[in-house]
Amino acid sequence: MSNSSSIAEFLLLPFAETWEQQLLHFALFLGIYLAALLGNGLIITTVACNHRLHTPMYFFLLNLALVDLGCISTTVPKAMANSLWDTRAISYSGCAAQVFLFVFLISAEYFLLTVMSYDRYVAICKPLHYRSLLCSRSCVQMAAAAWGSGVLNAVMHTANTFSLPLCQGNALDQFFCEIPKILKLSCSHSYLREIELLTFNGFLFWGCFVFILFSYVQIFRAVLRMPSEQGQHKLFSTCLPHLAVVFLFLSTGMFDYLKPPSNASPSLSLVMAFLYSVMPPAMNPLIYSMRNQELKNAIRKVMSWMYFRIC
């Protein structure tokens, strides 16, 4: 019986069988990756350089953009390289690193989204206490807690997953190293420990989602009581993008991890993984800037400054 120590590499699931289709997927991934780099890079630069955006809401948005950049850079470049070179291989250590980084960044993103909902709740429902509850020190501590929780979660999952004996081959039915796919290769009942840990994470994430939902129920109640339609529109423009990002993340990622294995098909799993691991980092900058006039104006100023510097 072979175990994980005898596996030198894993084989990832290819997007297509023919070389021409592989090149098409490479071009698609390249376009999405460049869009994510541009969008998140603009948000990071804009928030960092514009002093008017040095507020808790934009501080957390900057952290979210950093997480998104890391998340898409963990999976997409390797998928592009495999498509370009027509290969499926990823080394054992590379797979472990990919699992660690992906779990770390996905966990940090969800915790940041939870913190951002608290920021909007305090700003709208308790505006008189906003400066005291969300001072600079508190914001840094909450962001550090989100990043630190992500690291802790990733360490536990990675150590637990790669300590399992693997004897069901080395082919993963996914375009990146994903924990549920690695567990299918296990030949020991020890994998139940990881299932229990994933279940605990599921309850933790659902607890965060309940907190987010409760926050937005209170926010919408407060906004709808406002007499000014202009004020309502402005507040909705800052809240709805965040809610859209949370829904996009949950409706794809949680479904993919919590669906029964017997109902999973490789093509469906591939699509769902693409939606929750690749699309949010590319879509989040667009979602957050679409209805936020202040952020759009700041981004235009940064782009104009960069254009004149180049010229």
Q: Which pair of tokens denotes residue 228?
A: 């000014």
| CATH number of 179's domain | 1.20.1070.10
Which residue in this structure is represented by tokens 């590319």? 282
Backbone angles phi, psi at 168, to 5 degrees: -105, 35
Q: Give the predicted TM-score (pTM) of the model.
A: 0.86
pLDDT of residue 1: 38
Number of folded domains in the chain? 1
* 3-class SS of residue 251: helix
Closest CA to 292 of 241, 246, 228, 247: 241
Enclosing domain of residue 182: 4-310
- Helix (H) or strand (E) holding 9, with range, is strand 9-11
Helices marked H in the chain: 19-49, 56-85, 92-125, 130-133, 136-161, 179-183, 191-224, 229-249, 255-258, 266-277, 279-290, 293-310
Rounded distance between C-alpha atoms, residue 269 and residue 111, angstroms: 24
Q: What is the pLDDT along the chain (311 residues), one digit of tens a residue?
A: 344 447 888 988 877 777 778 888 889 999 999 999 999 999 999 999 888 889 999 999 999 999 999 999 999 999 898 888 888 899 999 999 999 999 999 999 989 999 999 998 998 888 888 989 999 999 999 999 999 999 999 999 899 888 888 887 888 888 899 888 888 888 766 667 767 777 777 788 888 888 988 988 888 888 888 776 766 676 666 677 777 777 766 666 555 555 544 455 667 777 777 878 888 888 888 887 766 778 888 888 877 776 666 65
DSSP state of 252: I
Strand (E) or helix (H) holding 89: strand 89-91
